[in-house]
Amino acid sequence: MCAAQRLLAEGRTDVAVLEITELADVGVGSFYNHFTTKEDLFRAAVEEAMEWFGGLLDQLTAEIDDPAVAYAQSFRMTGRLHRRYPQLSGVLLKHGLDVVHSDRGLGPRARRDIQNAVGAGRFEVEDLDLALAMTVSAQLALGTLLHAQPERDDARSSDLIVRGLLRHFGMTVDEATRICSLELPDLDLVDALVVT
């Protein structure tokens, strides 16, 4: 799966099955024991990468009672992944719009956080689908910009964007600023779990 994710991040999906199996150091027979086509492999690789990162975000925000804070923390940490985990970032950027319609990975979690924040009276959102599309689009634009501008501060940029989203969802400047200044979990503690 890691080989497929690497190829996805590099935008190399037109490779032969033999090249994929050589990169993964497995036999062609093993490939066909698990997948019918290379498209099936790439689809599974995207889903696995996004589900893994979504699960990580769930763990890191599990103790947060305020759904607006959980939303912001997840966005801020996702923004930081573009530099910390470039391969995972590459998969997200190449296939990120699929996140909006997927029932796994980051999309359903962002939808859940937005919906919970609306339910708790923390967000004013007229259209949940548009709020999710704005969130995903902002994250993809951020990742693209961070890759194009390696000197750009990823943390500050992530925080500025989510602060704007919070304001758009009805928060005051002071509250949005407060939420974006909260300490994030120590991402160094999870680096060892990342397979990139």
Is the pLDDT at 5 greater than 80? The verdict is no
Instruction: Look at the alpha carbons of 135, 136, 140, 146 in this order and tell me if their dihedral is positive or negative.
Output: positive
Low-confidence winner among 77-91, 112-126, 142-156 (lowest mean pLDDT): 77-91
How far is the C-alpha of 182 from the C-alpha of 66, rounded, in Å? 12
Convert the pLDDT of each residue in 175-185 to its tens digit: 999 999 999 98
| Annotated domain spans of the chain | 49-193
Structure-token pair, residue 10 = 């590099």
Per the document, the length of the chain is 196
Which amino acid would we find at residue 116?
N
At residue 122, the 3 state secondary structure works out as: coil
If pLDDT is split at 50, 70 and 90, which confidence band does 3 have?
confident
How far is the C-alpha of 104 from the C-alpha of 53, rounded, in Å? 11
Low-confidence winner among 55-64, 125-134, 182-191 (lowest mean pLDDT): 182-191
Is the pLDDT at 19 greater than 70? The verdict is yes
Class for the domain spanning 49-193: mainly alpha
How far is the C-alpha of 34 from the C-alpha of 29, rounded, in Å? 9
**pLDDT winner (highest mean) among 36-40, 136-140, 183-187:** 136-140
If pLDDT is split at 50, 70 and 90, which confidence band does 9 have?
low
Cα-Cα-Cα-Cα torsion 157, 159, 163, 166, nearest 10 degrees, comes to 120
Q: What is the mean pLDDT of residues 1-23?
A: 70
